[in-house]
Amino acid sequence: MALFRCEEMALYQLFLQSEAAYNCVGEMGEIGLVQFRDMNPDVNAFQRKFVNEVRRCEEMERKLRFIEKEVKKEAHINIPNNVPDLKQVPAAREMNELDNQLEKLENELRELLSNQEQLQKNFLELTELKQVLLRTSIFFQEGGGHFGAPGGTDPEYQIAPSEDPGASKLGVVAGVIKRELLGAFERVLWRVCRGNVFLKHADIEEPLTDPTTGDSLLKCVFIVFFQGEQLGNRVKKICEGFRATLYPCPEQTAERREMLKGVEARIADLQVVLDQTLSHRTRVLESAAANLPLWFVKVRKIKSIYHTLNLFQVSQKYLQVQCWIPITDIPKIQAALDKGTSDAGSSVPSVLSQVPTKEQPPTFNRTNKFTEGFQTIIDAYGVSSYREMNPMPFTVITFPFLFAVMFGDCGHGLIMALFAGLLIWKEKDIIAAKSKNEIFMMFFGGRYLIFLMGVFSIYTGILYNDLFSKSMNIFGSQWAIPQDVAKTLAGYSDNTDTVELDPKDSFKDKAPYPFGLDPIWQVADNKLDFLNSFKMKLSVILGVMHMLFGVVLSLLNHTYFRKPLNVIAEFIPQVLFLGGLFGYLVFMIIYKWFAFDYTNSASAPQLLITFTDMFMLSAPDDELYSGQYTVQVIILLVGVACVPWMLFVKPTVLYMRHRNPAATQRKTRDLSTGLTFKNLNNLAGDDGEGTEGLISNDELDRENGIGGDDHVISPDTHGAHSSNGNAPGAGGHGGGHGDDDEEFDFGQIMILQAIHTIEFCLGCISHTASYLRLWALSLAHAELSEVLWSMVMSIGLSYDSVFPGILILPPIFAAWAVLTLAILLLMEGLSAFLHALRLHWVEFQSKFYHGEGHLFTPFSFKHIVENPLED
């Protein structure tokens, strides 16, 4: 029954010897079946026992991220995507070894990075100096050249020629500046110096590299001629303001040539050193990249172990903690504890002892890669209460089926199934690739759900006989045109004339189409009228059946939790109300299909009018069957009687139990005869024990008339036992919340019961109407598909000759395919998915599902390695 209900859980006290605690917790992280509770809720996170170890691990993570960042800077170095399967728990001593190794590697990389940056800075300066020497040589060789102002003919920038014979002895400032700053630099220079300077510049064609950021730099060489020391100081300050780099520029040609040779030699030597540095850094990063995934796994596992150990109560010789454990997995946990104790070399076994509690245990539903997507849909609405009926197994069928009712089309369903099938086929490669695309991974996570939706859509598409808005005539239509009608049609010249076929003469063999709708409806003018009626009735039938199934599941909850009062005061009137009123509507729909055919369809009554007359206590004009009025009155009276039945019976019984002195004595009886859990998630679902979390087994048996020891925790099973012994059985079905001394409040119970009664009665009406979305979405999808075919695809198929058709058809088909994928598969598919989701969450699950539990979150390395621990 674990498929239909969550696993039975038990609260255990775990005692670990100090020397073996690390290994034992590591082994439990490998199996991922234990949820630890914080035994130090009032202790600050920075004052816990193993906070220093956690900080060391965080520091190692920082070093690993730094190394990873440096590796990713090198495009040719790849980090392995596959996470190493490290089955062995990292030993505690490995933390020191790994910390030293990472410390050494980080220091080496930082030193290499610093040296490389300094070398590249020197290389940049020498390269700029070389460009300055080359360009200034050209400038000096242009002795008689034009040294005009930047403004051209603008009078503001015009410089009168100087007649001073000493004007030829000019001072020189040469350097390099960014190209984007050159224009502003030029204008500021001429305005501040009042036109008493000469400027020449030339672009450096090859882009330079910034040694700090690695970005490309576009610069140009400039040389400024000025006269006088004061003017020279102004020029230098302007260069400093624009962050221009100044370089020495000898005036003599021989000196410049000699300096250029020295600079080129230094550049060559520096290039050799820089290449060796880069080569060594690459080798170090390649070696680190190969080990990065393994190091990350080890560090995260060690950190998670110490983080978990901080939840323990620590003494000198042992550590203790409380934890939730699935009962069926206790042997695995004991084996893990034994292995951890053995690996630590300890002779003292770990001790597990079961703890009685009134708390509601966490909900643990086992899933696999197939059921995980469906369970996620259920948990998104609310995690099931402990041992409550889990709707996931039924959702595996009902969800894709209701989706397909709205999305029924063979072609669209086939595309969806092929897409999901491709994801299933390539799932191992996709998992290994670790894609960061959230939308794609969302589709990938629901690949089995999408595959079933596609398969069911193919099935309903066959039922609707719909393939891209076209019908398939597989078995041959059961309709035929009589000869006299055919002769009449042959005489018509207007193709728009419509002929009505009489089933008496045109229906072959008096039998329906073997499977699905007859293809003749594809060309019928009254196609929409027929499909409206058919799909609307089909939606009502499916909706009432779906809701009745939900009410039946509530019976399984009541019987499992031993609540006979809920069966009598809730389940029975709910079945009579829903099944009597709306089940009767379903009966009339099916009965009418079988009782009337083309021979007597003219006298068939309108079901909507008949159902309305039923509530008005009016006799039907045309009876479906004899005695219909009497049956309808009885059903209506039973339905009306169910309302006070649901409203008053349960609160009255609870009040009488509270007023009964014998019941009061039972509530105060000593609970020493054995204990059991009882699920008391809400007051309306209680059987009269108030909010008691623990009640005696004898009391439960006398109250409910049910015996048995399946859910009993005997006092002798509460003793401690070693991990080598057998684990005791789990107790109970759930935990209560509340106080034993809480007063009985009849008014509150009455209000809650009235709310539930009104919600159910009105919900039966609104929920039945809500299922009509199956009809509306199905018609909308079919009509959109038909519109796309008639307005797009039919254009390319309308040409009789081959030549224009073969040119027009490919783009027309491409447009039709894109619109089909975008509108009908993505938009309409998402719409149908959301409507199917609502039908399950509101209409179906509200009949039996409370969803007031909390998830079982075990300590597991699998989750921690893939998603780093968030403190």
Residue 823 · residue 654 · CB < 8 Å: no
In tens, the pLDDT along 852-868 reads 999 999 999 887 776 65
In tens, the pLDDT along 717-765 reads 333 344 434 333 334 333 333 344 457 788 899 999 999 999 999 999 9
Where residue 6 falls among pLDDT bands split at 50, 70, 90?
very high
Q: How far is CA 346 from CA 353, 751, 808, in A?
A: 20, 60, 81
C-alpha torsion 74→78→84→89, nearest 10? -10
Tokens encoding 334: 């004991």
Lowest mean pLDDT among 530-539, 659-668, 751-760: 659-668
The string of DSSP letters for 270-289 reads: HHHHHHHHHHHHHHHHHHHH
Predicted local distance difference test score (pLDDT) of residue 589:
92
Predicted local distance difference test score (pLDDT) of residue 701:
40
Lowest mean pLDDT among 45-59, 192-206, 443-457: 192-206
Q: Which amino acid is at 725?
A: G
Lowest mean pLDDT among 147-161, 295-309, 380-394, 529-543: 147-161
In tens, the pLDDT along 481-517 reads 776 666 666 665 555 567 777 777 777 666 778 888 8
Tokens encoding 501: 């076929």
Tokens encoding 828: 């309409």
Handedness of CA 841, 846, 849, 851 (dihedral sign): positive
3 or 849, greater pLDDT: 849
Tokens encoding 206: 């090859």
Residue 306's H or E segment, with its range, is: helix 253-309
The string of DSSP letters for 556-572 reads: HHHHHTT-HHHIIIIIH
Residue 823 · residue 784 · CB < 8 Å: yes
Residue among 326, 301, 323 at smallest CA distance from 313: 323
Residue 680 · residue 693 · CB < 8 Å: yes
Phi, psi of 746, deg, nearest 5: -65, -35
Separation CA 842–CA 16 (nearest Å): 47
The two most distant CA atoms of the chain are separated, in Å, by 133
Alpha helices in 408-446 (DSSP H): 410-425, 427-433, 438-445
Bridge partner list, 220:
177, 203
Residue 860 · residue 29 · CB < 8 Å: yes
DSSP type of residue 167: G
Predicted local distance difference test score (pLDDT) of residue 688:
39
First-last CA distance in the chain: 36
Coil, strand or helix at 368: coil
Predicted local distance difference test score (pLDDT) of residue 739:
41
Predicted local distance difference test score (pLDDT) of residue 730:
39
Where residue 687 falls among pLDDT bands split at 50, 70, 90?
very low
Separation CA 763–CA 759 (nearest Å): 6
170 or 679, greater pLDDT: 170
Coil, strand or helix at 812: helix
Residue 118's H or E segment, with its range, is: helix 94-141
Residue 400 · residue 453 · CB < 8 Å: yes
Which residues of 781-834 form beta strands (DSSP E)?
Answer: none
Predicted local distance difference test score (pLDDT) of residue 731:
40
Tokens encoding 804: 């224009």
Please determine, for residue 810, whether its predicted confidence score (pLDDT) is greater than 50: yes
Mean pLDDT, the chain, rounded, equals 82
Predicted local distance difference test score (pLDDT) of residue 169:
63
Alpha helices in 578-695 (DSSP H): 583-595, 607-615, 628-659, 661-667
Residue among 615, 626, 616, 635 at smallest CA distance from 591: 626
Predicted local distance difference test score (pLDDT) of residue 752:
93
Lowest mean pLDDT among 244-248, 319-323, 801-805: 801-805
Please determine, for residue 457, whether its predicted confidence score (pLDDT) is greater than 70: yes
Q: How far is CA 30 from CA 16, 54, 84, in A?
A: 17, 19, 14
Predicted local distance difference test score (pLDDT) of residue 449:
95
Tokens encoding 371: 């059921």
pTM attached to this predicted model: 0.77
Residue 721 · residue 348 · CB < 8 Å: no
Which residues of 100-232 form beta strands (DSSP E)?
Answer: 171-178, 197-203, 208-209, 216-217, 219-226
Separation CA 699–CA 148 (nearest Å): 110
Residue among 558, 642, 439, 520 at smallest CA distance from 847: 558
Predicted local distance difference test score (pLDDT) of residue 147:
38
221-240 average pLDDT score: 86
Phi, psi of 666, deg, nearest 5: -65, -35
Residue 141 · residue 202 · CB < 8 Å: no
Residue 284 · residue 108 · CB < 8 Å: yes
Rounded-to-5 percentages of helix, strand, coil across the chain? 60, 10, 30
219-226 average pLDDT score: 87
Predicted local distance difference test score (pLDDT) of residue 80:
80
Coil, strand or helix at 618: coil
Q: Which amino acid is at 104?
A: K
Separation CA 35–CA 33 (nearest Å): 7
Token pair 């009105």 is found at: 762
Where residue 712 falls among pLDDT bands split at 50, 70, 90?
very low
Separation CA 379–CA 377 (nearest Å): 6
Please determine, for residue 24, whether its predicted confidence score (pLDDT) is greater than 90: yes
In tens, the pLDDT along 598-621 reads 778 778 888 888 888 888 888 887
Q: How far is CA 16 from CA 37, 47, 302, 353, in A?
A: 15, 21, 18, 12
In tens, the pLDDT along 777-789 reads 999 999 999 999 9
Token pair 């020449």 is found at: 200
352-381 average pLDDT score: 92
What percent of the chain is modeled with pLDDT above 90? 42
Coil, strand or helix at 309: helix
Residue 322's H or E segment, with its range, is: strand 318-326
799-826 average pLDDT score: 85
Residue 211 CA to its chain's centroid (Å)? 42
Predicted local distance difference test score (pLDDT) of residue 7:
92
Tokens encoding 578: 């829903």
Where residue 577 falls among pLDDT bands split at 50, 70, 90?
very high
